[in-house]
Amino acid sequence: MSGFFNLNVSSPTVAYFRAQLERIGPTWYLSPWWRIDSTMAKQNSLFQLLSIAHSERLEHVSLIDSFAKEHRGWYRRRLMQLAKRLRTGCPVIVAIEQTPDVLSDDQVLALRFASQSGSLSQTFHQLVRPEDSQQDETTAAWRNLFTYWAVTLLVLASITLWMMIRIAPAHSQILKEFGMQRQTPFFFLKSSFDLLCDNIPVALAVAFLIAFLFFSSTSRRFFRRVVAPHLTIAPNTSRSSFMLRLLSISTNAGRPLSGTLSTLAKYHYDKKVRQRLLFARNEMEQGVNDWQSLSDAELITTAEAKALVASPDNQSRAWLLERLALAKTDRACRSSSTMLAFAHPVAILIFGCFVLFIFIAFFSMNLELINSLG
């Protein structure tokens, strides 16, 4: 690069790019361009960066600018937007809330909770933990599985399309010339392909809509917050685990549980959890035991409530809440891993059935042709 700047060139184009490179400065990358980290890994890295900035009293804008140069694609743009909002004097938590998916929903909730309760240091210390890598590995496994499914589906669709364009018309012409009836599987396959060709604009619109919903951050956020909890217990268990970790931080700091629930109920991203938190807080105001109120609101189990009531002091309760949170995190990861182990063979079976149907359709037609000629 230094040799480029020392060149004695009078070209206006080269001079322009040289000025732009001098203005931007060197762009540094620690990871190769082909490595694609999961979104959770990027969000955890940013959360750790914010933790360092808070503990060392560093400026957030310069750190996030440098961190943005480490990434590409949509996450880089989100980081640039975050840095731009911070330059205008926007508070860190407000800028993060206005930049969707730059941090996870739970991390944004934790920062808002910590800023409201004045426990940022404790929150960063408790939430920057190595066990988060277990969830990241599970998320990466799901991402790899979806990538495998997409590539396999694309290959099967390409081969099927080539067969229907190049081979199926020739077979249909042969059957027509010999006056033979098409076999049912081949007839169904050819009719489906003709119907698809007759409605290409509709098929393209549906494909575009599916791709938009898959890649849109808004649709993914809606699926993550609303749809996913109804499909499996892993999201609900994970959310319960994170809430227990926040309660552990508040309890260890000696803050009233009712105030903690009020803060969480105000800023939590899940409507059902907000309703349960408000229900528990209202029961506390009616004189019900704090932990029993959480049990009545189905935020913790009865056994967990009894254990918390029997704890002698806040430090013991905070330790117990942290242990319960870790147990729930492990349970959520095991549940997700079980679903992963079940989903992969099911997908393979579906793809295998599709290939078998294509084989039967063409083989049965060839068999009829051979028998007729014989």
H or E stretch covering 190: helix 184-198
Identity of the residue numbered 215: F
Predicted confidence at residue 183, as pLDDT, reads 62
Distance CA 359, CA 215 (A): 33
Compute φ and ψ for 331, nearest 5 degrees: -65, -40
Question: Which pLDDT score is estimated for 234?
Answer: 67
Q: Of 157, 167, 166, which is closest to residue 196 (Cα–Cα)? A: 157
Give me the torsion for CA of 87, 93, 94, 97, rounded to 10°. 110
The model carries a pTM of 0.71
User: What pLDDT, on the 0 to 100 scale, is given for residue 2?
Assistant: 37
Q: What is the pLDDT of residue 194?
A: 79
Residue 20 pLDDT: 44
Q: What is the pLDDT of residue 37?
A: 61
Contact 55, 124 (CB under 8 A): yes
Split the chain (374 residues) into runs of 10 and give each run's mean pLDDT.
39 46 44 57 86 86 86 86 89 89 87 84 75 62 80 86 82 73 72 80 83 75 74 74 86 83 86 86 86 86 87 87 85 81 86 87 77 69
pLDDT score for 361: 81
